[in-house]
């Protein structure tokens, strides 16, 4: 039986529609850089790491979206990713995707449901 770490990130109303917010979390001895996008009433969570280089995606704190707000955009090479699935649709990592995380809203708070046995690859586990 696997367990899940329930990690409360922020109040749901702290992430405005058509915006994103980054978070740092230390769990089970590893540090994680993640972000949540609020689009069309839903919340989408990803590891903050471009599949091309492993670099963080934002160009300034909490600036993960393209200027038109329609895509997640990597600040390093301009790769664009769909918000709902994290699939690269433009740039050097075309067809690759961001690593998703499970996000829920519970009692008005955005929560990360991190599996206790999760193995996160690339630059996802920054404490290695």
* Residue 128 pLDDT: 32
Strands 103-106 and 100-101: unpaired
pTM score of the predicted model: 0.85
Gap between the Cα atoms of 32 and 123, Å rounded: 9
* Residue 122 pLDDT: 40
Whether residue 36 contacts residue 21, with contact meaning beta carbons closer than 8 Å, is answered with: yes
For residue range 27-84, what is the model confidence (pLDDT) as tens digits? 667 788 999 999 999 999 999 999 999 999 998 999 999 999 999 999 999 999 999 9
CA angle, residues 44, 110, 115, in degrees to nearest 5: 75
Strands, DSSP E only, in 12-108?
19-27, 30-39, 42-47, 72-73, 80-81, 88-90, 100-101, 103-106
Closest alpha carbon to 123 in 52, 23, 54, 50: 54
Give percent of the chain above pLDDT 70.
87
* Residue 2 pLDDT: 56
- In this structure, of 33-37, 42-46, 99-103, 117-121, the range with the lowest mean pLDDT score is 117-121
């Amino acid at each position: 039986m696997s367990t899940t770490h329930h990690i409360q990130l922020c109040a749901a109303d702290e992430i405005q529609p058509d915006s994103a917010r980054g978070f740092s979390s230390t769990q089970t001895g590893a540090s994680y850089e993640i972000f949540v996008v609020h689009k069309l009433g839903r919340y989408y969570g990803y590891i903050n790491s471009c599949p091309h280089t492993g670099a963080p995606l934002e160009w300034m704190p909490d600036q993960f979206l393209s200027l038109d707000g329609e895509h997640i955009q990597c600040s390093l090479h301009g790769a664009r990713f769909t918000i709902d699935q994290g699939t690269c649709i433009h740039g050097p990592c075309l067809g690759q995707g961001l690593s998703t995380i499970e996000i829920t809203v519970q009692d008005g708070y955005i929560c990360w449901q991190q599996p206790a046995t999760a193995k996160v690859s690339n630059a996802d586990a920054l404490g290695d």
